[in-house]
Amino acid sequence: MSSGDDGADRGGRETPPKHGLAGPEPDERPHPEGRRNSQGIRIDPEVEATHEPRRAVFSALVEDEPGVLSRIAGLISRRQFNIESLTVGPTTVDGHSRITMVVEETEPDIDQIRKQLGKLKPVITVGELDEDAVRTELVLLKVEGTEPDKVHAITEMYDGQTLDAGAETITVQLTGDEQEIDDAIDAFRQFGIIEIARTGYAALARGNQPTAPGEKPGTADEPTRPTNTQ
């Protein structure tokens, strides 16, 4: 056997191949199962399939900085998560705002949203609200005014308020949880809905529980300190 041949040496010992180490053929080698998500993390299909999407309501305290809302929305959209609704408004502390955001994703994705939001510098603190949190939303409906008495009756049925009434249109305001709002909208369809504006959820935790983790009450005369130390 020439010195360049692969196989056994003169003592009968196996010699390594000339190029690389001995091993199984490529089609005989084990291949990891699964795929990667948009962040490059390998996903086990069986594990992923066990997680059904659910709705989550996040409450975040943020510093009032230019572009903070677009940064939060951009972070969510870049990771291909879907925002069902997003509201923002002032809190008891000057310079701070509360953002209430509703998403519907799998459990791992909901956890990722919370972690990624917490890493944004303008975010002081963020957390998911419990199922029993106080939640409500507001809707404005503009309908045709050809049957004002019936519109008024439906408005009263849903504890609404007439904001504008004319010969051609009537605009009413309704508040309630999602199901109540959906039912009211269905009831007003018979009159012809011209325009609709719906806010999405505003929500607070029940009792003495802080709505966002570590949030100080407005009576404490002390602002909430950032939980993000990065």
Q: How confident is the model at residue 230 (pLDDT cuts 50, 70, 90)?
A: very low
Q: How many domains does the chain have?
A: 2
Which of 22-31, 42-51, 103-112 reaches the highest mean pLDDT?
103-112
In this predicted structure, the answer to whether residue 162 has a pLDDT above a threshold of 90 is yes
Task: Calculate mean pLDDT across residues 191-205.
Answer: 96
What CATH number does the domain containing 167 carry? 3.30.70.1150
13 class by beta-carbon count within 10 Å (0-12 exposed, 13-18 middle, 19+ buried):
exposed
d(CA 160, CA 173): 6
* pLDDT score, position 44: 61
Residues 66 and 203: their CA atoms lie apart, in Å, by: 24
Note whether residue 188 is domain-resident.
Answer: yes
pTM for this one? 0.71
Quickly list DSSP for 135-150. EEEEEEEEEE-S-HHH
pLDDT at 49: 58
Confidence tier at 52 by pLDDT (50, 70, 90)? confident
Query: Under a CB-based contact definition with an 8 Å cutoff, are residues 112 and 79 in contact?
Result: yes
Residues 117 and 141 in one domain: no
118 and 68 share one domain: yes
CATH of the domain at 73: 3.30.70.260
- Sort strands 83-90 and 54-63 into parallel, antiparallel or unpaired: unpaired
Q: Same domain, yes or no, for 144 and 124?
A: no
Domain end call among 129, 151, 173: 129
Helix ranges (DSSP H) in the chain: 45-49, 68-78, 107-119, 148-157, 178-188
- Rg of the chain (C-alpha set): 29
Residue 80 domain flag: yes
What range does the domain containing 145 cover? 134-204
